[in-house]
Structure 1
Amino acid sequence: PGVVSTWLSETNPAGGDRLSSKNVFVYGIILAFMLPWSAFLVHGCVMAIAELVRKQDVRSAYPTVLLLTTILVMSCFADRKDRYLLPMAPIASVVAAQSVLATLRRTKTALPDWSHWAVLIAFALIPLLGLSSAVKTADGGRWFSPAFAISATAIAAMIVIVGWLASHRQRFAMIVTPFILMMLLQAVGVQGYAKTREGRSEMRPLADFIRDRYPTAQVFNFRGEREEKRAPVDLSIYLNRPTLFVPDPATLPRTDRPQIYVIVQGRRDPEPLPASGWAFLHKVRRDKDWYWAFVRE
């Protein structure tokens, strides 16, 4: 009993409503998953389809057939989530690798080298986006200072140029260069994203508030009448302790430690009232939800 409801509540992202995406092209995000190899992924699919039509190397087309068929079938269902596509990333990598291999071997149907390096040059300019008003920090500022953005761009461009020169002697440099470049851009991106509202956990202020006032408190997770709502796991992370599920705070046995429970107020929910013997402690907002903390009196 309750297996289905428990599974739904555990798989539902904290604070998110269980809404199906209406965009039938949501799985096109596979192209973003494969950056900076997206062009090779598309080309690999085209190569495989051409081989199927010509009935040449049918076996090499299997990864493409598997990838495209899976995306097509998944798109037919109403519940479309981009994370559902993650298990197909290895298959997409194989398809892209087939195109990369053709380019390394300079076959007739391969993508030209310049297309690969053009994509990498475009990626090397990405740190400059941190100077624009399109991306802002939580306090409304820009992601990067001009000095940081220009320095990161210069280093990225140097990586691409050195890789391009090295590729004239060693074709394998076409593989190594994107790896080094993406490692740099990953660090640069995290540096900026960590300053944004989305990059910060709204649960940390609540966790800090609880730890400062009740460092030894037991913290509980009360879902109320909405089984699909629960406190995010980052609350437990910043508290450095588990947040245990409690069916009814009023019946919770007392201990010699302070006791706190957290409950979620959805966008259309009324403000939660404290359970008998409990008092309001603090609340924080996360997206459209509020997270309320109550302490035992």
Structure 2
Amino acid sequence: MTPPTGLISAPPRRIPRWAGWAIAVLVFVAMAPTLGWLELANGIETLHAATVLEMRRDGGSWIMPTLNGTLRIKKPPLPAWIGALAVTDATVAGASSTDPVIRDRAFSRLAWEIRWPALLAGCLMLVATFDLAKTLAGRRAALAATVLTGTSLLFLRYMRLASTDVHLALWVTVGNALLARAILLRQRGCIAAFGLALGLAFMCKGPVAILQTIAPVALLPLLHRRRTATGSGLSQPMAPEPVPARRAIPWRQVFVAVVAFLAVALPWPIMVATSNEGTLAIWWSEITRKDATTLAPDPVYAYLTLLPHLIPWLPAFLLGMLLTLRFRSSRSVRFIHRTKVQRHRGYLLAMLWLAVPILVMSLFKDKNERYLLPLLPPAAILAARGLLAMIAGMRRGRRDAGAWLASHFVLVGGIAIVLPLVGVISPQALPASLTSAWPVSASGGAWYEPRLGLPCLALAIAATVTMFRPPRRSVIAGVGIAAVLMLAANALLLWGYKDTPAGRSEMRPIAERIIAQSAGTRVAYHDPGGKPMPPDLAIYLNRVVRPLEAVRRRGDDEPDIIVMLQRENQRPPSLPGWHSFASEPYGKRYWHALKKDQP
């Protein structure tokens, strides 16, 4: 691979303290306009949105939220509270309107209102990432880590969705930043603030917050014993002035931290547990995932999906891991041994915050990619180490360092160029063997019209060329162009994805047919095959929708309409005394709305 030629960085300048805030604002401004493009269709997001709507509608309970009339107490409600505060009364009222235009505008506003708090939490996580990386490795690494976090595939994919994991990632990162200050900079006052942050993280998703903050730090004494003889122990402070190697444990601050954590984390669980039988069993099942789902266990290596989700900065991450794991034998990579790598102890701590939670979470049944969001900042800090090593190698004229750096630019340029190129080609112009894997819009055509796709393609090519040879001929400028290009490619991707079946709600078409037939009817859901009810049915009907079995078990009045699924190659669903009055396709399946026969 030919390295970028002529890229010579100017002497490094001092990174301002507000740099993290500037990056967070840039990312928010770049992603915020896209939040209303996609309908509420993602499974975890529709659960959150349906719960929030139910809290805001008809005086729903905030202390113990419900979903279709059933208590939703498996997880703490802090993200639901934040979402409910963001949704306005006008949106809730408009979602129940019989006017399709008003209803459509209301659901567009709902998508924005339910998602912007999550994006804000993600961008505040970038600020916390900057602070954490600054403590662990200095401001240059902090700037690189923040940029890498905000433009990674994992961030761009999940930070636009309203989910509990986004809010958890914020408070875990804030907590780790405070812990790093307390441990490495001896800022003992941060310990009490850490207790508050840990309590808020606990109120997002429970005990996993402890695993992702305190548990890795518990291994620090082991590393200290192993490295004391070489003078690189983690217990030595990072501050420039000499600090005694040993100090008494600040029990007063620890006590305040514990009190702050308990004051935030305990009231809601105690209230719920004392008000509902079987709550402890529900929480134990949720923590261990035993009998929580009927799905087969994910493979133990499932969290290796972190690697592709670090694109386009995966090479820097791999190099940063190599530097951290083989710090004293780094001559295996030619240009690294000539690079003076600083803050090695901080990078080791970042590696602990990444590796320990992954190893523990791999022992559990469910392994979703979004669970990795709180681990993205430490992964980006390790990637920053690799990126800074590449830049240092470039300054020394090492062509192999340029090849490593060029691999990032190739990934970014490939994404930016291939996306509009593929998006403007109609599936009808391709051989039948390719159409099944080709991006297709809901109408069966190309993602982008030529008047949009071709200019985007030309701009992507020009930006890629500029990325390799930026105006100031600076490596840093090339990395900045790559970051902006990733944000632009994300917006273009969502613009095309919004018109695909996957970007639209599965249940909205049948919900619209039901509202057009009779707006105020009681609706139930029934599936003899055991498929759970998609939460977006309750969202787009804007009312409680219970399974038919639950309605009859409760002794409620019979519903006016029953929604049922017709699977591929099966006959339309039927119930004695009911007939289908509306059906809507979704892929190769159909959703039917059934109404009682007239006597």
TM-score normalised by L of structure 2: 0.40
Q: For the Cα contact (< 8 Å) 1:51–1:61, is it kept in 2?
A: no
1-side partners of 2:582 and 2:285: how far apart? Answer: 28
Displacement of 1:121? 2.4
Displacement of 1:95? 1.8
Cα–Cα, structure 1 residues 259 and 224, in superposed 2: closer, same or farther, change >3 Å? Answer: same
Q: Percent identity?
A: 27
**Is 2:309 aligned against 1:33?**
yes
Q: For the Cα contact (< 8 Å) 1:44–1:99, is it kept in 2?
A: yes
Which moves more between the two structures, 36-45 or 282-291? 282-291
- For residue 242 of structure 1, the aligned residue among 537, 543, 549 is 543
| Mapping of residues 109-188 of structure 1, within 5 Å | 111-112=401-402, 113-126=405-418, 127-130=420-423, 131=425, 133=435, 134-137=437-440, 138-146=442-450, 148-166=452-470, 168=472, 171-188=475-492
Q: For the Cα contact (< 8 Å) 2:469–2:478, is it kept in 1?
A: no
**Aligned residue type for 1:232:** P
**Aligned residue type for 1:161:** V
1-side partners of 2:578 and 2:564: how far apart? Answer: 13
Cα–Cα, structure 1 residues 148 and 158, in superposed 2: closer, same or farther, change >3 Å? Answer: same
2-side partners of 1:266 and 1:91: how far apart? Answer: 44
| Deviations, residues 86-123 of structure 1 (Å, cap 9, x unaligned) | 33222222222222233344477994243332233222
Gaps of 5+ in 2: 1-276, 331-340
User: 1:83 aligns to what?
Assistant: 370
User: 1:44 aligns to what?
Assistant: 320
User: 2:495 aligns to what?
Assistant: 191
Cα–Cα, structure 1 residues 253 and 180, in superposed 2: closer, same or farther, change >3 Å? Answer: same
**Is 2:534 aligned against 1:232?**
yes
User: 1:70 aligns to what?
Assistant: 357
Helix, strand or coil at the partner of 1:243: coil
Displacement of 1:84? 2.8
**Aligned residue type for 2:533:** A
2-side partners of 1:224 and 1:90: how far apart? Answer: 45
User: 2:298 aligns to what?
Assistant: 21
User: 2:269 aligns to what?
Assistant: none
Displacement of 1:261? 4.3
Displacement of 1:272? 6.7
Cα–Cα, structure 1 residues 221 and 119, in superposed 2: closer, same or farther, change >3 Å? Answer: same
Cα–Cα, structure 1 residues 179 and 80, in superposed 2: closer, same or farther, change >3 Å? Answer: same
Q: For the Cα contact (< 8 Å) 1:156–1:184, is it kept in 2?
A: no
1-side partners of 2:516 and 2:457: how far apart? Answer: 41
Q: For the Cα contact (< 8 Å) 2:467–2:479, is it kept in 1?
A: no
Displacement of 1:17? 6.2
Displacement of 1:253? 3.9
Cα–Cα, structure 1 residues 231 and 78, in superposed 2: closer, same or farther, change >3 Å? Answer: closer
Q: For the Cα contact (< 8 Å) 1:159–1:180, is it kept in 2?
A: no
User: 2:387 aligns to what?
Assistant: 100
Gaps of 5+ in 1: none
1-side partners of 2:438 and 2:329: how far apart? Answer: 45
Superposition RMSD on alpha carbons, in Å?
4.2
Cα–Cα, structure 1 residues 151 and 73, in superposed 2: closer, same or farther, change >3 Å? Answer: same
Displacement of 1:181? 1.0
Q: For the Cα contact (< 8 Å) 1:284–1:292, is it kept in 2?
A: yes
Greater strand proportion: 1
2-side partners of 1:190 and 1:34: how far apart? Answer: 19
| Mapping of residues 244-259 of structure 1, within 5 Å | 244-245=545-546, 247-249=550-552, 251-253=555-557, 259=560
1-side partners of 2:464 and 2:447: how far apart? Answer: 23
2-side partners of 1:201 and 1:96: how far apart? Answer: 36
Cα–Cα, structure 1 residues 17 and 290, in superposed 2: closer, same or farther, change >3 Å? Answer: farther
2-side partners of 1:252 and 1:7: how far apart? Answer: 31
Displacement of 1:266? 8.3
**Aligned residue type for 1:18:** L
Displacement of 1:74? 3.5
2-side partners of 1:7 and 1:192: how far apart? Answer: 42
2-side partners of 1:5 and 1:278: how far apart? Answer: 37
Q: For the Cα contact (< 8 Å) 1:26–1:80, is it kept in 2?
A: yes
User: 2:510 aligns to what?
Assistant: 206
2-side partners of 1:5 and 1:289: how far apart? Answer: 34
Helix, strand or coil at the partner of 1:142: coil
Q: For the Cα contact (< 8 Å) 2:313–2:383, is it kept in 1?
A: yes
**Aligned residue type for 1:117:** F
Q: For the Cα contact (< 8 Å) 1:125–1:157, is it kept in 2?
A: yes
Which moves more between the two structures, 192-201 or 176-185? 192-201
Helix, strand or coil at the partner of 1:58: helix
Q: For the Cα contact (< 8 Å) 1:230–1:264, is it kept in 2?
A: no
2-side partners of 1:115 and 1:225: how far apart? Answer: 49
**Aligned residue type for 1:21:** D
Cα–Cα, structure 1 residues 214 and 187, in superposed 2: closer, same or farther, change >3 Å? Answer: same
1-side partners of 2:534 and 2:284: how far apart? Answer: 16
Helix, strand or coil at the partner of 2:561: strand
Displacement of 1:209? 1.0
Cα–Cα, structure 1 residues 188 and 209, in superposed 2: closer, same or farther, change >3 Å? Answer: same
Displacement of 1:237? 3.2
Displacement of 1:155? 1.0
Which moves more between the two structures, 38-47 or 277-286? 277-286
**Aligned residue type for 1:19:** A
